[in-house]
Structure 1
Amino acid sequence: MTDNGMPAGNGAGQGGRDRPLDGQVALVTGSVRRIGRATALAFARAGAAVVINARSSRDEAEATAREVEALGVPAMVHLADVTDEQAVAAMVEAVTGRFGRLDILVNNAAIRREAALTEMSLADWREIMSVILEGAFLCSRAAIPHMARRNYGRIINIGGVSAHTGAIGRAHVAAAKAGLEGFTRALAVEFAPSGITANCVAPGRIGGKRSKTSGHGVSLPGGAGPLVGQEGKPADVAEVIMTLCGPAGGFVTGQTFHVNGGLYLA
Structure 2
Amino acid sequence: MAEETPLAGKVALVTGGSRGIGRGVALALARRGADVAVGYRGNAAAAREVVEAITEMGRRALAFGADVSVEAQVGRLVAAVREGLGPVDILVANAGVASPRSIADVTGEDFAAALSVNLCSAFYCAQAVLPDMRRRGFGRLVFISSVAAQRGGIVGPHYAASKAGLHGLAHFYAAHLAKEGITANVVAPALISTDMVSDNPVAKPDFLPVGRFGTVEETAAMVVALAENAFVTGQTVSVNGGWYMT
Please state which band the TM-score falls in when normalised by the shorter chain: over 0.9
Tell me which of 183, 208, 212 is aligned to 1:226: 208
Letter in 2 for 1:158: I
* Cα distance change of structure 1 residues 210 and 98 upon mapping to structure 2, 3 Å threshold: closer
Q: How does 1:48-127 map to 2 (within 5 A)?
A: 48-127=34-113
CA–CA distance in structure 2, aligned partners of residues 114 and 190 of structure 1: 35
Displacement of 1:236 in angstroms is 0.4
- Could you tell me which residue of structure 2 aligns to residue 4 of structure 1? none
**Aligned residue in 2 for 1:243:** 225
Alpha-carbon distance in structure 1 between the residues aligned to 2:236 and 2:200: 18
Structure 1 stretches of 5 or more lacking a match?
Answer: 1-15
d(CA) in 1 for partners of 2:155, 2:9: 43
CA distance in 2, matches of 1:203, 1:185: 18
- Aligned equivalents of 1:214, 1:203: Cα separation in 2: 15
| 1:175 aligned partner | 161
Asked whether the equivalents of residues 228 and 261 of structure 1 are also in contact (C-alpha less than 8 Å), the reply is yes
Q: Is the CA contact (8 Å cut-off) linking 1:147 and 1:153 kept in structure 2?
A: yes
Q: State the TM-score, normalized to the length of structure 1.
A: 0.87
Post-superposition Cα deviations, 1:138-161, rounded to whole Å, max 9, x if no partner, equal: 000000001111000000000101
Task: Supply the distance in 2 between the matched residues of 1:134 and 1:165 (Cα, whole angstroms).
Answer: 21
Match status 1:18 vs 2:7: no
TM-superposed CA distance for 1:56, in Å, is 1.8
**TM-fit CA distance, 1:54:** 0.6
Inter-partner Cα distance in structure 2 for 1:26 and 1:63: 17
Whole-Å Cα distance in 1 between the matches of residues 150 and 22 of structure 2?
22
Moved more, 189-198 or 172-181: 189-198
**In structure 1, what is the Cα distance between the partners aligned to 2:157 and 2:58?**
42
**Who is 1:255 aligned against?**
235
Cα distance in structure 2, aligned partners of 1:120 and 1:85 = 25
User: Percent of aligned positions with the same letter in both sequences?
Assistant: 38
Alpha-carbon contact 1:167-1:215 (below 8 Å) kept: no
Q: Decide whether the 8 Å contact of 1:65 with 1:75 is kept in 2.
A: yes
Q: Residues 154-211 of structure 1: CA distance to partner in whole angstroms, max 9, x if unpaired?
A: 0000010111111344111100111111111011012112211000000011114333
Q: CA deviation at 1:262?
A: 0.9
Q: Which residue of 2 aligns with 1:265?
A: 245
Cα displacement string for residues 47-88 of structure 1 (whole angstroms, at most 9, x for unaligned residues): 100000011211111111111111110001110000111110
Higher CA-based Rg: 1
Q: SS at the partner of 1:56? A: coil
After TM superposition, give the deviation of residue 96 of structure 1 in Å: 1.3
Q: Contact 2:181–2:230 (CA<8 Å) still a contact in 1?
A: no
Indicate the residue corresponding to 1:203 in structure 2: 189
Name the TM-score, length of structure 2 as normaliser.
0.94
Letter in 1 for 2:222: V
1:153 is matched with which residue? 139
2:223 and 2:44 mapped to 1: Cα distance?
Answer: 24
Range with greater deviation from structure 2 (117-126 or 132-141): 117-126
Q: Amino acid of the residue matched to residue 241 of structure 2?
A: G
Measure how far apart 1:217 and its partner are.
Answer: 6.7
CA deviation digits over 1:85-126, x for unaligned, max 9?
Answer: 111001111111223321000000001101122322211111
Q: Secondary structure at the match of 2:185?
A: strand
